[in-house]
Amino acid sequence: MKISGLMLLLASLPAFAQSDISGTAHVADGNTIHVATPDGVIKIRLQGIAVPDARQPGGNEATAFLEQYAEGEPVRCALDGTQFRDIKTGICYLAGQDIGAAVVRAGLARDCPAFSGGRYWPIERPEAQKLSLPGYCNPGGEEMRKGLDRRDFFP
């Protein structure tokens, strides 16, 4: 009886296990892709990078770069079980190369240490310093103080 109760409890918990998906990339913006899989389309935010919105300087350039780099290409994404504003997050790869790292190397994105653990900091280009770093990249940042839902930042 105790084992079945434990299994029921575990089944009711959200799944935070990493999972992989593969499909064709369609670019939404500089850090979001839609992956067309045999089971449907999955919207994925590239985990650990900060890209300006389209209305900010550098946003359109990041989107154009990502479109040229990944649009229509086969990708594999390692989803980490978290979401950012109801979008699944993960590290996506094109031909074995980290797509987020490509955007950072191009100088069009910054490392977002609250989510990357500093993974992209060593490759961040000096010209990227002119791009604003959103407050959510640092836990407890300005966006959180402005009352955005904590679930927008953490699982």
Q: pLDDT, tens digit, for every residue of 53-65? A: 888 889 999 999 9
CA distance 33 to 31: 7
Residue 139 lies in a domain: yes
Q: Look up the CATH number of the domain holding residue 92.
A: 2.40.50.90
Query: Does pLDDT of 69 surpass 60?
Result: yes
Residue 151 has pLDDT above 50, yes or no: no
Closest by alpha carbon to 39, among 57, 62, 21? 21
Contact, 47 vs 115, CB < 8 A?
Answer: yes
Tens of pLDDT, residues 22-44: 999 999 999 999 999 999 999 99
Does 111 map to a domain? Answer: yes
Number of domains in the chain: 1
116 CB neighbour count, 10 Å cutoff? 20
Average the pLDDT over each of 9-13, 45-49, 75-79 and give the range with the smallest value. Answer: 9-13
What is the DSSP secondary structure assignment for residue 121, as one 8-state letter? Answer: G
pLDDT tens for each residue of 95-136? 999 999 999 999 999 999 988 989 999 999 999 988 888 888
pLDDT band (50, 70, 90) for residue 10? very low
- Answer yes or no: is 7 within a domain: no
d(CA 102, CA 90): 15
- At residue 6, does pLDDT exceed 50? no
Render the burial of 46-72: b for 16+ CB within 10 Å, e for the rest: bbbbbbbeeeeebbebbbebbbebbee
